[in-house]
Structure 1
Amino acid sequence: MRSFACRLCQSPLFFENSVCVSCGTALGFSRAERDIVPVDDAGTYVDEAGLVWHVCRNLNLSGCTWLAPLEGGQCSACDLTRTRPAEADPEGTAQFPEAEAAKRHLVVELDTLGFDISGLVFDMLSSSEAAGEDVVIGHDNGVITIDLAETDDARRERIRQQLDEPYRTLLGHLRHEVGHYIESQLVTTDERLARCRELFGDDTLDYQAAIDRHYSQGPPQGWEDSYITTYATMHPFEDFAETFAHYLHISDTCETAAAYDLWQGTGSASFRELVRTVWIPLSVALNQINRSMGKGDLYPFVIPAPVLDKLDFVAGLAGTP
């Protein structure tokens, strides 16, 4: 994520700011400009082309600060949410803003990298007692389903430990599931499909059988030599999605580091070189900083050569039709 500053007083801003805490200016996020812009007392902003934009109607519902083209309308990020918790579900409604914030972060990242997500929608579902349903996180034909209970830190940490996962976050779920969507949209030509299968394996293998094997037998011995996580070993589809998620982890963190002068980003290096020369030393340093604070590693993963090849492949899909 890039850094932001108030256009009126130049004070630092954060992505979800609706007001500048220094000068009191009301703010909105312009997706077109990928920047936080000042809005007037009516919540409007006029861009350089003379188009009038309005703060999203969901500001008080989900904390959305994005600009919408119609007064009283909702923004393009909120348009992506197909289903949200019912008002009769107070727990799900309380969890909804955090999930939407993570989704907006994802959308900006995908926009920055040049991925078209115009056919994607999200079902933000609640597995609370009031909702009375079990929600399965996943992707199906352009629909990403998210369990809002994943916003509960204690619950999410308990599941992470039960599944022996080194990392589990709501943003991580979103990045993984959108990886399935990107594969379905972009890995379609004979050349790409052949290269993808060369790297990740035969995706025509029975998926349910792969799930059963994974949860009954666990990952194969020596999985660390070829996969980024144990979950990636389950099926080539999951390997791609896990790899895509880590591509986004790395890209976003490196962009943030460059924005705060932790390294001098040039934009000219290949993704492979970015991992070798920037990400590996940066992640080691961040892990050590976390340890200095008595916390676990920020990035508890190792990137062997075969995984770097996979990362390079998914990075090559950015900005392509």
Structure 2
Amino acid sequence: MFRPSVSLLPVVLLAALAGCTRQAPEERTQTMMRAADAAPPSETAPAVPARAQEAEADEVDVRRTTRWPVARLTSGQARISCTLDYAATGDGAALTSLEFFSVLDAMSPCQDAGVVRLSYDGKIAADFTDLVKRVAAMADRMGIRKRVLDLNSSGGQVEDAIAAGDDIGQAGWTIWVREGAVCHSSCVLVLAAGDNRMVAGEVGIHRMMRVRSKATTRAELSRELQDIYAEVKDYLQRNGVAIAIADVMMTVPNRSLRLLTAEEMARYGLSGPNAAQDDLNRIALIRKCGEAFVWRKDAFAQAYAQECERQGRDVDEVNTCGMKLRERFGFPDEKCPDESPLSEYDAGLALLPVAPAGGGSRAGR
């Protein structure tokens, strides 16, 4: 569950409230929270002072304070957009700072839109984990429930990918690998964590190893790899992905790359809805909306796949088919409209269908 929306005033209004004198970050935070009159209870707790050492950033829960530790994005480029229509609008404004008010300013237009799309092009490293954690924390504050991580990465550190994936798995992200984009090596672990995975670009795997390995013999390297792959398998299992993919990785030399087919990604659980999250959602849905609702939703999903997602249909035809099909199954449901199929269309927000693997160029990059 996401926290209710917290109304955050525009920067221009904050400046007016502050008068002609520029406020210190602490004063600016207090002014914003008083004016909004909606600060979460955690904001009243003693603030944790900002730290200059990036390595200590994890000591502070960025969901509970506005005084975020210093963190710099150096491993890639990030952009924030408040629309999912990348073909028409591109990828939005560059996010160059991970400081609280920089993220706030970048995401403020997304509060009314109800959706944020974070585009990331670069390596998977500790600063990538900081990025997704802070954007999700701000989305929680703003009540933004639709979150898309638009990913293009050749990989990076295994440990960083697992850390980022664990944060992503708790924050309700849909992950895109768009046409023309890649998700290679440890990026596949990040992909595994999404609530839903929409893939049109390349997904590739190979043998993973620690760049800072201290192994000097094959035996030492083997023991180290066993530790890594035990951790990877545990991670994949808790994200609903077949652990067999880890065994396949072991067979591909680190200097090589094996591209996965759409059929393999579906078989291993790396595309479409996340099986583990789907189970959790189903349990929560039965509690909230009842078993009859869930049965109707399952029946709708089967009919939608058979009648609306036929090859050769364009987007408008699929949308029209789906909306008509909803009526046949009694959706949107009066008790649970937001949980009804295609509810994103009711709010004017639609996750864009992605072209089949091997599609055209990556628009907006």
Shorter-chain TM-score range: 0.3 to 0.5
Instruction: Give the TM-score normalised by the residue count of structure 1.
Output: 0.32
Larger radius of gyration: 2
